[in-house]
Chain A
Amino acid sequence: MDDIDRTIINRLQEGFPICPAPYQRVAETLNISEQELLERLQILLDSGILSRFGPMFHAEHMGGALTLAALKVPEDNYDTIAETINAFPEVAHNYARKHLLNMWFVLATETPVQIQQVITQIETQTKLTVYNMPKIQEYFVGLKLEA
């Protein structure tokens, strides 16, 4: 990854035009050709530095639901439980964190009622209590990381 890649990543985290030739427009502001931008983006995606190039949706406005949930998992059973959790297509992220509550995951479902259904399934399969922590209030979501 070089400086041009970094500039592309930083610039495109801020947004992307909705017009017939959006890459052309972005390329102009970066002083590179459209072809170069497309090639570099493809490489960044293929190499896994970018996970996706596209929209971030507002799940709740879409009729869907999101929640953050945590589990208290016995250490010697951790990997098995992680596999069980990750097998659910509704699990978008799953992180091990150092705390009594040591497994944290995000659930994304098409409807709010499905959140509770998935939680019940998880509790049945893991025999552990899910700590459900849906957002009550959002103060800021502006995840932008300088490359």
Chain B
Amino acid sequence: MIEAIDLQLVAAVQEGLPIASRPYALIAEQLNLDEAEVISRLAKLKQQGLIKRLGVIVKHRRLGYQSNAMVVFNIPDALVNQMGQQVSQFQFINLCYQRPRHGEHWPYNLFCMIHGKSREKVQQQLSYLIESCALENYAHDILFSRRCFKQRGAVYFPTPVTANK
């Protein structure tokens, strides 16, 4: 179970760390803690995996990654874990998950994201992936994004977190 102080800490940093010399001291001040405690608690949250990564979150379109494709495959259930791990080894695969199928409209169970600077490049990477992993016999589809309506980091605590939560 996550301690109440840790929840407050998460709420304080979820929108971003202060851009200042002593960012953790500023957070500490806000929460009435001391800097050392903020540092040790954040380090613990990172070690426990609650914080997956601390760093910058880029807007990929602004970096020139305009062609973001969701590539999906219909892999037999018995093979999906093995294929998922294999596919994840490729540098250009940014995310990879097994997700449920939905009848005839959606027979796919392996989902990968490829962020590319052009559709041609993404198509080339996909062909290379299919060839390298011998995926030719499995149905696949590639869904390029057309418009992005909303993109923000997930906010886990939209409401202020109180101490008794």
Contact = CB atoms under 8 A, between A and B. Distances in A.
Contact of B17 (A53, A85, A132, A147): A53
Given A13-B56, A49-B59, A38 B144 contact: no
Contacts of A101: 105-106
B15 interface: yes
Interface in B112-152: 113, 115, 141, 143-152
B149 to A, nearest CB: 4
A139 B87 contact: yes
A145 to B, nearest CB: 5
> Among the interface residues A22, A66, A72, A91, which one has the most CB atoms of the partner chain B within 10 A?
A22
A38 B19 contact: yes
A96 B145 contact: yes
Contact of B15 (A52, A72, A93): A52
Contacts of B16: 45, 52-54
Nearest to A144: B94
Contacts, number: 241
A89 B155 contact: yes
Interface string B36-56: 000100110010111111111
Interface in A84-105: 85-86, 89, 91-101, 104-105
B97 A137 contact: yes
Contacts of A23: 19-21, 23
B-side interface mostly? mixed
Contact of B144 (A21, A52, A97): A97
Contacts of B25: 20
A115 to B, nearest CB: 12
B163 interface: no
Nearest to A132: B100
B52 A96 contact: no
A119 interface: no
B19 A131 contact: no
Contacts of A68: 99, 111
Nearest to A8: B56
A66 B155 CA distance: 11
Interface string B1-31: 0100000001001111101111111000000
Interface of A: 8-9, 12-16, 18-24, 34, 38, 41-42, 44-45, 47-59, 61-64, 66, 68, 70, 72, 82, 85-86, 89, 91-101, 104-106, 108, 110, 131-145, 147
Interface of B: 2, 10, 13-17, 19-25, 35, 39, 42-43, 46, 48-60, 62-63, 65, 68, 70, 80-81, 84-85, 87-88, 93-100, 102, 105-106, 109, 111, 113, 115, 141, 143-158
